[in-house]
Amino acid sequence: MDPMCSWCWGFAPVAEALATRAKAAGVPLHLVAGGLRAGHGSALDMNTRCYILEHWQAVHQATGQPFRFEGALPDGFVYDTEPACRALVAVRGLDPAAVWPLVRRIQHAFYAEGRDVTQASTLVELAEQVGIPRIEFAEAFDAAATREATAADFTWVQDLGIAGFPTLLAERNGQLALLTNGYQPLDELAPLLERWLERGLHA
């Protein structure tokens, strides 16, 4: 997933419900950063901005997740998802239990509040809101090891041939099972997860 992927934001309530069910069965959630638009250094042009906002409208209509469209993606905005992905990886190393709350906070800040989550200052503040001390987060966020781990996440995703987000995989004994590539509603995915969990019980 990518914290700045609109379909990942649309999928967030579904992912949370599935993760809660899996956790009850002893299967933890592990988020991998996909790098949707990592390293994009130029500001959005008008055509790309319109294209992205059309996607946001589609996500909003399909999922009901809140979006702030007024003033979204302002002139000069550089849609680089690497910092938000690196924040995910940084917190994964500091407190794995805080990763999902941080991702949800980044998503809400970006899509529903219109905040610029490409800025380190914003990410530090959001990390603090989910219980990560500012200095600890800032040091981890800037560390070379975190940059390398973030790049390793991107490579892992690419090597699996995953081209779209969100992608939900179930892993048992090193074997990966694809639950979904792209948004699906909970009523379609919950039975798939249940069948996968049941196979584990009977294996």
- Report the pLDDT value the prediction gives residue 139, as an integer from 0 to 100: 98
Confidence of residue 163 (pLDDT cuts 50, 70, 90): confident
Report whether pLDDT(200) > 90: no
| Residue pLDDT, tens place only, 114-150 | 999 999 999 999 999 999 999 999 999 999 999 999 9
| Residue pLDDT, tens place only, 84-110 | 999 999 999 999 999 999 999 999 999
Output the DSSP codes for 104-170: HHHHIIIIIT---TTSHHHHHHHHHHTT--HHHHHHHHH-HHHHHHHHHHHHHHHHTT--SS-EEEE
What's the pTM? Answer: 0.95
- Report the pLDDT value the prediction gives residue 39, as an integer from 0 to 100: 87
CA angle 109, 96, 171 (to 5 degrees): 105
| Cα gap 128→102, rounded to integer Å | 9
Report whether pLDDT(27) > 90: yes
| Cα gap 40→48, rounded to integer Å | 13
- Report the pLDDT value the prediction gives residue 18, as an integer from 0 to 100: 97
Report whether pLDDT(203) > 60: no
Q: Locate tokens 């069948």: which residue?
A: 195
Residue 83: name the closest of 58, 120, 52 by CA: 120
Query: Over the chain, what is the mean pLDDT?
Result: 96
Paired strand residues for 167: 181
Judge whether 140 and 146 are in contact, CB under 8 Å. Answer: yes
